[in-house]
Amino acid sequence: MVGCALFRRFCLGGLKTVLLERGADILSGASKGNSAMLHTGFDAPPGSLEHACIQAGHAEYLAVRESLGLPLLETGGLMVAWSEEELARLPAVVAQAHRNGVLDVVQVGAEEVRRREPNLAPNALGGVSVPLEHIIDPWSAPLAYALQAMAHGGEVRRGCEVNGGDFADGQWRLATSQGPLAARIVVNAAGLQGDLVEAIARASPFAIRPRKGQFVVFDKPAARLITASIMPVPSERTKGVMVARTIFGNLLVGPTAEDQDDRAHATLDQGQLEALIARGQRMLPALAGESVNAAYAGLRPATDSKDYIVEAVAEANWITAAGIRSTGLTGALGIARHAAALYERHFGRLEEAPSPARISMPNLAEHLPRPCLAAGYGEMVCHCELVTRTEIEQALGGPLPARDVGGLKRRTRAMMGRCQGFYCSARIAALAKGRLVGLSTESLP
């Protein structure tokens, strides 16, 4: 996410930029599992870099989304207090939002909460309305950033792991799994591997401590139960469990917040998932009658620092963007702007491209017309998510084709619906033949 935004920013700034990704496809680390919110930053620590990046990112997303073909589901957010103790904290939440410049945030009474969200459990005591806390497509956005960067000369190398590097005479020589690579400036946006990559340039001042977030995705009919994203009153440790719609038309409950050492496995835990569902049902009793489509887990690259770490190591021609946690989807564009400013302060000028290339992402949002509504789509491949053969083929082609099953799912929604590939996975394997890592397309003898 952050890497794609940085890639875009530096390509638009006229630098010859290459994006290295160790996974088979982009977005295969921390970025694949997030809550898809476009945050306002109302609850960010005042004066923090995170706050500045979220606000800049929110503004830039709204400014550029149409030229990138990216959707927006304007839901707003509603923080709901379920106890007297939580209710007592609401005025401080509003005060902090105002201090953060999010001036349309207001406290609302129990009556107003019920009027806005009649399906919530009756014990909601009050809430805070955050009108501009919206929902976006968490994967089309960074993909569009990368595609725009490529249109401005950027290069993407996937399956390319950085193993080490030497800095001498103002030049980096990186050792990668695809051979050496020379660069003037290195930007570390390695997410879950951030501290390991940082150690190439210096003793890492931060340690990544993965924090796992599990989510439960309900089938589309459940999305009718709420209008706004229902947020909990946050505690010290985490923003807590929320209930939100997704841009794809589902309803999401999550995340959990579980610290772990493992950087690779984001495993599901049945007990935790059942607890999430129970938690969701306590907030939204009608969820009890709705079916679950999927469950997923993501790892957030947390550090000891409460804030993002975005800084330049001037003497090493190095820029770090690390510790970007759950707000990274919104913050990414702001982080990229901040990193570009650091570049200009330490390393040279950027010449902003006068007319950035327009990108048109295929629409995956449920509230906008899907490609299957136009005749000539070839074949309906995934019936649950209405994904056509044309879309599958587009995702398997173009400048940044899907390289694994996850990448295809993120680009098209195929196999992400209620049947989870019962109907279409064999057909997709046949269409993808040989083009997706990990998917066996071995012919029968």
Partner 1 sequence: MSHHDVVILGAGPAGLAAATRLAALGIKDLVVLDRESEPGGVPRHCGHVAFGLREFHRPMSGPAYARRLAEAAAGIDIRTRMTVTAIEPGGRVHVVHPDSGPATLSGRAVLLAFGVRETPRSTQLVSGDRPVGVTTTGALQQFVYLSRIRPFRRAVVVGSELVAFSALLTLRHGGIEAAAMIEEGPRITARRPADWVARLALGVPVLTGTKLLAIRGLDRVEAVEIERDGRRQAIACDGVVFTGRFRPETAILAGSHLEIDRGSGGPAIDQHWRCSDPAFFAAGNLLHPVETAGVAWAEGRAAADAIAAFLAGTLPPAASTLAVKATAPLKYIYPQRLSLPAAAISPLLFKLRTARAAKGNLRLVADGRLLWRRRMTILPERRLSLPLSRIPRADVSSLSVEFEEI
Chosen residue from 47, 348, 378, 399 binding partner 1 by CB under 8 A: 378
Chosen residue from 46, 221, 234, 240 binding partner 1 by CB under 8 A: 221
- Cβ partners under 8 Å of residue 372, min gap 6: 380, 386, 387, 388
Query: ω into residue 255 within 30 of 0, thus cis?
Result: yes
CB of 151 to partner 1, least distance (A): 30
* Closer CB to partner 1, 46 or 285, in the complex: 285
Chosen residue from 334, 364, 404, 412 binding partner 1 by CB under 8 A: 404
377 binds partner 1 (CB under 8 A): yes
Alpha carbon distance 178, 200 (integer Å): 17
Give yes or no for a contact between 134 and 74, defined as CB atoms under 8 angstroms apart: yes
Chosen residue from 219, 258, 307, 311 binding partner 1 by CB under 8 A: 219
* Closer CB to partner 1, 17 or 412, in the complex: 412
**Which alpha helices (H) appear in 69-119, and where do they start and end?**
84-99, 110-116
Beta strands in 292-430 (DSSP E): 292-302, 309-313, 318-322, 380-382, 387-388
- Cβ partners under 8 Å of residue 138, min gap 6: 1, 31, 34, 35, 36, 329
Cα-based angle 368, 372, 377 (whole degrees, multiple of 5):
145
355 binds partner 1 (CB under 8 A): no
**What are the CA-CA distances from residue 133 to residues 2, 73, 75, 303, 403 (Å)?**
20, 10, 7, 25, 33
* Closer CB to partner 1, 123 or 441, in the complex: 441
Cα-based angle 145, 44, 197 (whole degrees, multiple of 5):
50
The site for partner 1, by CB under 8 A, has a size of 59
**What are the CA-CA distances from residue 271 to residues 256, 261, 277, 280, 425 (Å)?**
12, 20, 10, 14, 28
CB of 254 to partner 1, least distance (A): 13
Chosen residue from 379, 397, 398, 399 binding partner 1 by CB under 8 A: 379
Of 160-179, binders to partner 1 (CB under 8 A) are: none
Chosen residue from 62, 196, 350, 429 binding partner 1 by CB under 8 A: 429
Alpha carbon distance 107, 233 (integer Å): 12
Of 281-320, binders to partner 1 (CB under 8 A) are: 289, 291-297
- Cβ partners under 8 Å of residue 308, min gap 6: 48, 49, 50, 53, 321, 322, 323, 324, 331, 335
Give yes or no for a contact between 76 and 178, defined as CB atoms under 8 angstroms apart: no
* Closer CB to partner 1, 164 or 422, in the complex: 422
Chosen residue from 179, 354, 430, 434 binding partner 1 by CB under 8 A: 430
CB of 372 to partner 1, least distance (A): 5
CB of 422 to partner 1, least distance (A): 5
Both tokens assigned to 390: 């044309």
Of 24-83, binders to partner 1 (CB under 8 A) are: none
> Kind of pairing, strands 318-322 and 186-188?
parallel
182 binds partner 1 (CB under 8 A): no
Of 264-283, binders to partner 1 (CB under 8 A) are: 264-270, 273-274
CB of 237 to partner 1, least distance (A): 23
Chosen residue from 388, 392, 403, 412 binding partner 1 by CB under 8 A: 388
Alpha carbon distance 114, 108 (integer Å): 10
CB of 129 to partner 1, least distance (A): 27
Amino acid occupying residue 253: V
* Closer CB to partner 1, 334 or 406, in the complex: 406
* Closer CB to partner 1, 168 or 375, in the complex: 375
Q: Which residues of this protein are in contact with partner 1, per CB under 8 A?
A: 216, 219-221, 224, 264-270, 273-274, 289, 291-297, 372-380, 383-384, 386, 388-389, 404-405, 417-423, 425-427, 429-430, 437-445
